[in-house]
Amino acid sequence: RPFKRLLLTGAAGNLGQVLRERLKPWTDVVRLSDIGDLGAAAPGEEIAACDLADKAAVYEMLEGVDAVLHFGGRSLEAPFEQLMHANIQGTYNLYEGVHKRGIRRVIYASSSHAVGYYPTTERIDADSPLRPDGLYGLTKCFGESLSRYYFDRFGVETVCLRIGSCFPEPRNARMLATFLSYEDFVELVRCALFTPRVGRTIVYGVSANRIDWWDNSKAGHLGFAAHDSADEFAARFPFNGAWPAADDAGNFQGGPFILAGPQYE
Ligand code: NAI
Ligand code: 15L
């Protein structure tokens, strides 16, 4: 197999559970990490439970790892202290350990909420300035900037996946634009892992949806081509092509996340 050991953080989460199965053809061992329940290790798996905010534990968990898939952390808007613990302290610890261990590549689960304050009428690409739509989105901007710094300073490569909405099926009208199918997600991760040189790349994680907010032309070197589309689910949602959609909030790409922040203050 191409890799000896891949580390997957957030392995007990939604996307972590998808990758837990799908990484196996690519690696002799997948090391699984989370603060949540990971169950027992199956053949070809190692369990390394750890809080990302625990620097010594993170350093320990990175021993003998070829590449890291960093999916652990808070995945929704939350009080700043919680976001800081998991996404800011945690992602810093991870990069510091990656650099000190000489690990060459990270696949970082960023989010479209790093740019959620763009209007739904605008098409953006990897070079569009960051416009976070809340504290959660801000922590993703921090992770993306960390990856920039660790590449420029130390040569650690990262592919930042600005994931849209990765679920089995779209859940509302906004997801007709942001949906990323599990199959397309796994293909994107494969491209991010196997492209020989990625430097520090930003790519939007989105299927081939008709409503198209995100231009991936600057990530063409990854060779990612989406095959699925949210369009087959369009009839389910009361959406006439004009935002805001009846079941969603605002004219911003971040949708309901725009309104989520202040409730925590
Ligand atoms: P999830 O919330 O299901 O999984 C995140 C996992 O991280 C959880 O199992 C949780 O226990 C773990 N975690 C939280 N704090 C931790 C800490 N301090 N130390 C160690 N582990 C910790 O989220 P999901 O959907 O699997 O997303 C995975 C990643 O992808 C997240 O970083 C999320 O922000 C990002 N993402 C996901 C999208 C999606 O549509 N599913 C969209 C955009 C970004
Ligand atoms: C995210 O960043 C979240 O992690 C995920 O749970 C979804 O809510 C997604 O964005 C979305 O915008 O649909």
φ/ψ (deg, to 5) at 73? 135, 180
How remote is the CA of residue 220 from the centroid of ligand 2, in Å?
24
Nearest bound ligand to the CA of residue 54: 1
What's the Cα-to-Cα distance from 265 to each of 76, 79, 260, rounded to whole Å? 15, 8, 10
Burial category of 256 from C-beta neighbours within 10 Å (exposed 0-12, middle 13-18, buried 19 and up)? middle
> What pLDDT is attached to residue 243?
75
3-state secondary structure at position 47: strand
Nearest CA residue ID for atom 13, ligand 2: 165
Whats the size of the chain, residue-wise?
A: 265
Both tokens assigned to 83: 């976001």
CA 169/CA 232 separation, integer angstroms: 10
| Non-local CB neighbours of 73 within 8 Å, separated by 6+ positions | 9, 10, 52, 86, 87, 90, 91, 109, 139
Nearest CA residue ID for atom 9, ligand 2: 165
φ/ψ (deg, to 5) at 86? -85, -45
Percent helix, strand and coil across the chain, each to the nearest 5 = 40, 20, 45
Known catalytic residue: 264? no
> What pLDDT is attached to residue 247?
66
Rg (CA), the chain: 18
> What pLDDT is attached to residue 244?
74
> What pLDDT is attached to residue 138?
97
Nearest CA residue ID for atom 10, ligand 2: 165
Q: Which residues line ligand 1 at a C-beta cut-off of 6 Å?
A: 10, 12-16, 34-36, 51-53, 71-75, 85-86, 90, 109, 111, 163, 165-166
pLDDT tens, position by position, 168-211: 999 998 999 999 999 999 999 999 999 999 999 999 999 999 99
Hey, where are the domains in the chain? 3-264
> What pLDDT is attached to residue 265?
45
Closest CA to 100 of 29, 156, 166: 156
CA 248/CA 244 separation, integer angstroms: 6
How remote is the CA of residue 43 from the centroid of ligand 2, in Å?
31
Nearest-atom index, ligand 2, CA of 174: 13
Is the minimum distance from the CB of 172 to ligand 2 under 6 angstroms? Answer: no
Rounded to the nearest 10 degrees, the angle between the axes of helix 135-154 and helix 90-101 is 20
pLDDT along the chain (265 residues), means of 10: 98 98 98 98 98 98 98 96 97 98 98 96 97 96 98 98 98 94 99 98 98 97 98 88 71 86 51
How remote is the CA of residue 74 from the centroid of ligand 1, in Å?
5
> What pLDDT is attached to residue 261?
62
Is the minimum distance from the CB of 165 to ligand 2 under 6 angstroms? Answer: yes
DSSP structure string for 130-162: P---SHHHHHHHHHHHHHHHHHHHH--EEEEEE
How remote is the CA of residue 11 from the centroid of ligand 1, in Å?
8
> What pLDDT is attached to residue 264?
47
Query: Which one of 136, 150, 182, 204 is the catalytic residue?
Result: 136
Which class does domain 3-264 fall in?
alpha beta
Residues forming a β-bridge with 204: 162
CA 236/CA 180 separation, integer angstroms: 17
What mean pLDDT value characterizes the chain? 95
